[in-house]
Chain A
Amino acid sequence: MQQYFYTLGDALFEKLEGAEQLLLGFSGEDSDFVRLNHNKIRQAGCVAQRSLSLDLVAGQRHAQTSVELTGDSALDMEQLTATLKKLREQRGFLPDDPYLNFSTAINSTEYHHDNEVIDSHDAVAQLVQAAGDMDLVGIFANGIQYSGFANSLGQRNWHSSANFNFDWSCYLAEDKAKANDRAVKSNYAGFDWQQGKLAAKMDSIRQQLSILSRPSKTIEPGRYRAYLAPSAVNEIIHMISWGGFGLKSHRTKTTPLIQMVEQGRSLAESVSLRENHARGLAPIFTGSGYIKPDHVQLISNGHYQDCLVSSRSAMEYGSVTNADYEFPSALDLAAGELHSADMLKQLDTGLYINNLWYLNFSDRNACQLTGMTRFACFWVEHGEIQAPVNVMRFDDSVFNLLGTNLLGLTEERELILDASTYGQRSNSSIELPGILVRDLRLTL
């Protein structure tokens, strides 16, 4: 695939006219997707996808396109030659772009994580067997993902990774008529499929389901001491990430962290958040040819520090490119000092929340969020789980949850590989601890 991309690129660069420059981005995957319901295959198939983006530049004028490739070099070159012609025509009608910005230094890189992936048919047989009589629903994705960059200045970058991501939940079998949310959510993702790890996760689910089978409790609206497991904290961080860390959103005053920027408001001193490009799961190069720094410290000891800066924002606001998009893809929330093993004791009486769901802003200026509890959440008294809780809506400020009401973060962190597949399989990830909060405001 890498060679095909480079060969196409070389052929296209030969078709440039005058002082034109061409930036090419390649994105593709060969993946299997198996959707399951009731521990049976609902939909199973595979996707072969190859997309090439072109940015044709002359001076300060440029036009962009993305084209789906067939893999047949003659057919692809015919289509791409026509595309170049159209971009050239469009460019003639366009004014200069003052924020055009691409790397002119040559920074070629290669990253291959092309280990042998498990055969998807075998993996599906194993996971169905491992779930046994449990009511399993979810998605198994497996295959190779490709990203590339090349420009007419001579830069070449490649990133490919073979990996799997199995994202599922298991429901109490007889529960549909009584409550919709009595299930345990799990995920197994990585590069080296191990049947033993899958079996251990299934065993853990069986144990949690036995607790979920207890009569559930409905919580009244109010404020509750709560532990939020890493998956739940991930939902909060993901929501803040919509505009929270991008330079453009800061300069246009649309960041939900505007009170940190304009009023010097802070989170708890124990909160430090960075974009950890060095984790290496996503490409280290950007679509404009820049190489991302290893880290960008976004929040340091509760105070806002740096922004993610795309090449376009870098030019518009006089900054330096440090990201492809102004949305994080490799976050690290620093660990704290609480021990996960002691969490029920630390919580004492309150809510143990494994998962949150469907968050959004109820007041963006105040970074006030609303959302729902989901899956296995429990009511705890005196350090003992008493009952699963029915779903509840919360509405609270991040300045409370990660600020004045934050009692601590766990020492242990979880690495979560994003299971989302919009457009294509995600290569985003986040590593983060759980948090204990003095009170969480439930409203409905």
Chain B
Amino acid sequence: MTDTDPNHDPRLSTALRERLRDERPDLEHLAQSSLRAGIRGRRRRRAGAAAGAVLGVTAVAVTAGLLSGGGTTARDGTVATTPTPSATATVTATPTPGDQQSHDVGAPGDPALPFTLDLAGWTCEYFPVDDKAWCTSTRGGNLSVVVRPAEDHAAWAGQPDKGADPSTLWTSPVHGNYFVTVQGGAGADGLGPTPLQAFIDGLHLAPRWDRP
């Protein structure tokens, strides 16, 4: 490597490697959880592409109908309002009952996660594919809120490497089939000046989570 930085200090590389020498991720868990999230991401991507294609076809069909029909729309509403592609688009775009329920209780504009944060100065960016949201505060806070299956609750509430870890600030009670953890306390920006209880009070959790 040709390095053009006279201040480069290779001792830092050595020191960083020394610090992480004993850090061993659970690769099997990482592979399986990533695979599941990736599969969900693919499904969501395909669904989005299909919906986009249907809307595109609808737009083309409607435009073509208007162009070929001249003033038909004004004179005969049934011709313009019942094109076949529109019916297809309606069916495709209608949310499933699960989607609708999630949308009612989930984050604004995001139908996939079962919680919202209503706390002044805080905003969340939702990553439904990862079952989590990253929330940041204008005053320097930085946390992640992760949705987890209810069957994992005992492990998160009791194990020293999880629930008792200082980076896990709070583990919620089980809500139906899920719970959430609030994480990011150690070494990161964490809550900033926001009291933990205020953050918890700002979280609104749905009674259960029907994953789309």
Do A and B truly interact? no
